[in-house]
Amino acid sequence: ELNKFRRELLSNRNWSPAFDSRMVDLLVDYFQRVRLSNLTSLEQMYLLALADTLANASNDSLSNQTYSGEKPTNTMDDCGLRFLIDVQRYIYLSRMVSLPNMQGNSPLKHIITSASYAWAFHSDLQEDLLGMLPCMIKNKPIWSELQLFGVGWWIRNKSLITKLFEKVIKAKKKKISKCANVY
């Protein structure tokens, strides 16, 4: 099977040695047809999530959008990168879990953890990290998603957290004075 996969890759006219999203698509297609003997289906899914994360990182999509809307610097400190890897794995696996052949959310339980929050807390680029969360990219901050990624635990900048909660409240179309106790 592996030789067949190699032939498919090499016979592809658009094949490139760079590891990108096309390569991930080929891996997903391959892993849907073939199960690796030493990996469980969950481990195989984690492997695909890691491949997707690496493909996204190599395409600089991890650093092409920021919360402030300013031009990105295309740099990320180590702590921020570790947090973003967990975020990207979560995003990829949440797409996989929604597929009909997957049931429940068990693969997603242990991706975003307190360790992820600690990495984000120690990053010097917290505003950039915030801007790379899925709801912030869409410019529709949702408190449940922000909670999932532990935003309340790792943002240290008081003005940033205030600005964020104002956006969350405005997204719900409520008055700030009526929501102060909730948040």
pLDDT 10s digits, 90-129: 888 887 776 555 555 456 667 888 999 999 999 999 999 9
CB 121 within 8 A of CB 153: yes
- Residue-wise pLDDT for 157-171, tens only, equals 999 998 998 888 888
Mean pLDDT of the chain, nearest integer: 76
The residue type found at 25 is: D
Rounded to the nearest 10 degrees, how much is the dihedral formed by the CA atoms of 14, 20, 24, 29? -10
- In whole angstroms, how far apart are CA 25 and each of 20, 68, 161, 162? 9, 32, 37, 40
In which residue are the tokens 């953890």 written?
Answer: 113
105: buried, middle or exposed (CB in 10 Å: 19+, 13-18, 0-12)?
Answer: exposed
The whole-model pTM stands at 0.66
Residues 6+ apart with CB under 8 A from 137: 65, 131
CA-based R_g, the chain, Å: 19
